[in-house]
Amino acid sequence: MSAVTTRLPLKGVFAILLAGLVVGSIVTIVVVRSPSPPGTTQNGYRLSPSVHSSEGEVGDGFPVYRLYVLEASPEVNLTDVRMNLEQDGTTVASLANMTGCGGTANSPLLADYILEISYTDEIGCTLSAGDWVTVSLLHNGLGHNYTIRIGRVGGGDFVTGSVDVPLPPTASFDAPVTTNGTVEIALASVSQLYAPERFGGILPDLSGPPNYLFWGDLRFGVLSMSRYTTITLEDRDGDGMLSAGDTFSFSNMGSVTPGSYGFTLSWRDGGHLATATFP
């Protein structure tokens, strides 16, 4: 995974933050100067709320959180800056100094919990506005709180940020209902409400692998339209969240290979939640 060094204008950073909040990331950010109370800024050092995205394929994805440096005054040469990552209050990764103008931290949890923890320098090899921290997690890393501490080598923290990573919700389907060749499958339950983009769907094509009638991220409206079938997701209660009662529709299923189909609802950050079999 390579670091991106494109310079982002400040208004672009705020646009990214807004997009991250719309897709439903759960974020807590604390900026401190010890022993000052949480929420203060130490001498002009400030991090953004974390921005969530899901990467990887549906069914085998992983979460990525990025925290941007919004303010750093005075700037500090990165050779004098270290970064630590805590999981539930215990330090699990560290970058002793950033002689390479940023870098990737080492962690004994990399094999089981953490895919990557890195610091990316935008320009100048200094701790400065526009830099960002990336935390990528494996499935076992879900359901934990992570704290990023950026400070002076051998000294205290300049600033800290916190990311609360949710566990996947649980979900179930009602029995499929077929009317005039259209199959409807309603969600019977979803334990936590998120925007549909936090979920994915998989519907294999029985004509044989590796063909799929649908394999991708969810959204309300038309998910897929082909000469074989049209797949839609309807927000029945209009709340903008994937919730009980929202319904998947599969029309013209009579034109596809006959047999038993299984539609799987997945959590984009990794794992399958429920499967409905029809007809």
Specify the pLDDT at position 54: 94
Is there a single domain that holds both residue 89 and residue 187? no
Of 104, 137, 164, the last residue of a domain is: 164
Given 143, 164, 185, the domain boundary residue is 164
Strands (E), 36-181: 46-47, 51-55, 62-71, 76-77, 81-87, 90-95, 102-104, 114-120, 126-127, 132-137, 145-152, 157-164, 171-173, 177-179
Q: What is the pLDDT of residue 275?
A: 96
Residues 113 and 95: their CA atoms lie apart, in Å, by: 17
Only one residue has tokens 């090899």, namely 125
Task: Tell me: do 80 and 210 sit in the same domain.
Answer: no
Last residue of a domain, one of 106, 139, 164: 164
pLDDT in tens, the chain (279 residues): 333 333 334 334 333 333 333 334 333 333 333 333 333 356 789 999 999 999 998 988 999 999 999 999 999 999 999 999 999 999 999 998 888 899 988 777 777 899 889 999 998 999 999 999 999 999 899 999 999 999 999 999 999 999 999 999 999 999 999 888 899 999 999 999 999 999 999 998 887 667 888 999 999 999 998 877 899 999 999 999 999 999 999 998 766 677 788 999 999 999 999 999 987
C-alpha to C-alpha distance for 21 and 10, rounded to whole angstroms? 17
Q: What is the CATH number of the domain that holds 194?
A: 2.60.40
For residues 72 and 43, give the distance between their C-alpha atoms in angstroms, rounded to a whole number.
Answer: 8
pLDDT at residue 11 in the model: 39
**What domain range includes position 231?**
171-278
Quick one: 158 and 182 in the same domain?
no
Q: What distance in Å separates the CA atoms of residue 145 and residue 165, rounded to the nearest whole number? A: 6
In a domain, 5, yes or no: no
Q: Of 83, 47, 51, which is closest to residue 68 (Cα–Cα)? A: 47
Asked, for residue 211, whether it belongs to a domain, the answer is yes
